[in-house]
Amino acid sequence: MSTYSDASSVSAPAPRALRPTGFSGVVPALAFVAIFFIVPVAALLLRSVLEPVPGFGNYAELLGSATYLKIFANTFIVSGLVTAISLLIGFPVAWALAIMPGRLASVIFAILLLSMWTNLLARTYAWMVLLQRTGLINKMLMGMGLINQPLPLVNNLTGVTIGMTYIMLPFIILPLYGVIKKIDPAILQAAALCGASLWQCLTRVLLPLAVPGMAAGALMVFVMSLGYFVTPSLLGGTANMMLAELIAQFVQSLVNWGMGGAAALVLLVVTLSLYVVQLRFFGSQNTGGR
């Protein structure tokens, strides 16, 4: 393949690799992204230090009030819980997927992809109905005699955690699957030959080898959960707001652009710094967060 480029570089004054080419191709997209992405986001963040008066008053109010701190706490607690539960369920599933016979694995994969691509609102609506006081989950639990009174599963953080774990599960299973699939079975065989029990093989060999994948997947789920809007606002009820909903409320109902911009910046800084951590330590991962 080099012969053709050599032939063409004879007539070219500079070696092909040094001559900048192709930039004109990216100009339309660059213009589009600059106008409709960079400018609006930058303008929003600027308003946080300019409105209503220039200065850092919005940030002082945001980080100094108990109401807002509770919202930050809600956001981090729910995101942490969702991440932990997804990891706990996701690891065995990813492990099983990696070693299952092909046909069963492809059925499970189809289910994972189907749920990932099914409309978010549709799935959240399903949980609103499933989790309500007279919903299927409460009826089943009461039918099995586990509880006497219906549990309050919706309009609170329990509902948010269930609904979000459901949504995040595929996002942790897929990267974990990739990591486990790459582990050489010979390493585990060697451990077994050296006399390790199954439990020792798991805790001293398999789990440590999967740690990078677990950390990367967990970080991704955590970051995505921090910025989630639809599921928390439908399953959470008004008393248990999360950060994304706070931003929306500042802007839509209170028309307070300064505070909205400040809250957006906080979310953005946390999100981007966690992504930098992830890129630095675990390489890039595909995401699809909303």
Residue 5 beta carbon to another protein: minimum distance, rounded to whole angstroms: 8
Smallest gap from Cβ 61 to another protein, in A, equals 18
Q: Which long-range contacts (CB under 8 A, 24 or more apart) does 33-38 make?
A: none
d(C-alpha 235, C-alpha 157), whole Å: 8
Give the SS3 label for residue 11: helix
CA angle 168, 174, 175 (to 5 degrees): 100
Is 48:265 a contact under the CB 8 Å cutoff? yes
Rg (CA), the chain: 25
Q: In this structure, are residues 16 and 9 in contact, taking their beta carbons and an 8 Å threshold?
A: yes
Is the Cβ of residue 77 or residue 198 nearer to another protein in the bound state? 198
Q: How far is the CB of 239 from another protein (least distance, A)?
A: 16
Query: CB 60 → another protein: shortest distance, Å?
Result: 21
The residue behind tokens 């990891």 is 87
Specify the residue, 64 or 185, whose C-beta has the smaller distance to another protein. Answer: 185
Residue 215 or 285 having the CB closest to another protein: 285
Smallest gap from Cβ 57 to another protein, in A, equals 19
69 CA to centre of own chain: 22
Which CB atom, from 157 or from 177, has the smaller least distance to another protein? 177
